[in-house]
Amino acid sequence: MVDTEGLTWPVHRRADFTRILVYITLATAFIFILDMLTPLGVMIWILYLIPLFLTVYLSWKYAPLVLTGVFILLMIASLFVSPRDIPLEFALLNRAFFALILIIASVFIDEYVANVEDLARSEDRHRTLLGWLPEGIIVCHRDHIVYINPAGARLLGALNSEELRGRPITDIIDPAFLDTFKARMAQAALGARIDDEQVRILRRGLTPVMIGTSLGAMSWDRETAVKVILRQETV
């Protein structure tokens, strides 16, 4: 699982569309002018890779491919106006080779954009599913709560998940069960799957309650975390 709330793209990319487009336009114009003023043997056109990679932040799917076409046309135009210090054939061969690199890079960028969008959609579906589950689910990373679904928040007497996010998981465990729970957490982090473990939890403004828990390891931000499933059994 990846915390897509921490992503700056594609979650908030629309607000930056105009700004990124201006950056790309200015960079492209600067590189084109610089290319026209320098001899053919100086490979200034390699700098077109910079605005090409900026297309990652644009919401238009075909931006990398379209910009690649624009760059190739500009490279062709500057070929005939730049000062000639090498034979035209060699300059044409160099730019043709780099045009191929631009095309390959744009294809990889397009695939990367598609993969990030698929990841964001998958994560959104996953969060929606967890939000509807009747069982409480907590994800603990470095012994702190990094995610808790609405059912888990209600079980712990919180108004919403934000009240509990960032708190140590030990804050909600009865001290009498704390040592055992820590041992089970350590085992789960090492890969063990623990089911039907009884523990008493402390609830905000409510009486403590015995619940059944299941623990297991999972990935969170490329690190190992522990998923805790809460099932209320007796009050």
What pLDDT, on the 0 to 100 scale, is given for residue 15? 57
Distances (CA, A) of 67 to 10, 43, 63, 92, 226: 19, 19, 6, 20, 44
* Tens-digit pLDDT profile for residues 148-168: 998 999 989 888 888 899 999
* Tens-digit pLDDT profile for residues 86-118: 998 999 999 999 999 999 999 999 888 888 777
Residues 138 and 121 in one domain: no
Contact 123, 1 (CB under 8 A): yes
Q: Which residues form the domain of 186? A: 134-232
User: Which residues is 216 bridged to in the sheet?
Assistant: 227
Residues 26 and 95 in one domain: yes
Q: Which of 81, 102, 129 is the last residue of a domain?
A: 129
Distances (CA, A) of 40 to 44, 64, 79, 82, 154: 9, 25, 7, 6, 69
Residues 117 and 160 in one domain: no
User: Which residues is 213 bridged to in the sheet?
Assistant: 197, 230
d(CA 201, CA 210): 6
* Tens-digit pLDDT profile for residues 127-142: 777 677 788 999 999 9
Q: Which of 129, 149, 171 is the last residue of a domain?
A: 129
Q: Which of 129, 157, 173 is the last residue of a domain?
A: 129
**Whether the predicted pLDDT of 234 surpasses 80:** no
- The three-class DSSP label of residue 215 is strand
Residue that wins the pLDDT comparison between 99 and 122: 99
Of 9-13, 54-58, 159-163, which gets the smallest average pLDDT? Answer: 9-13
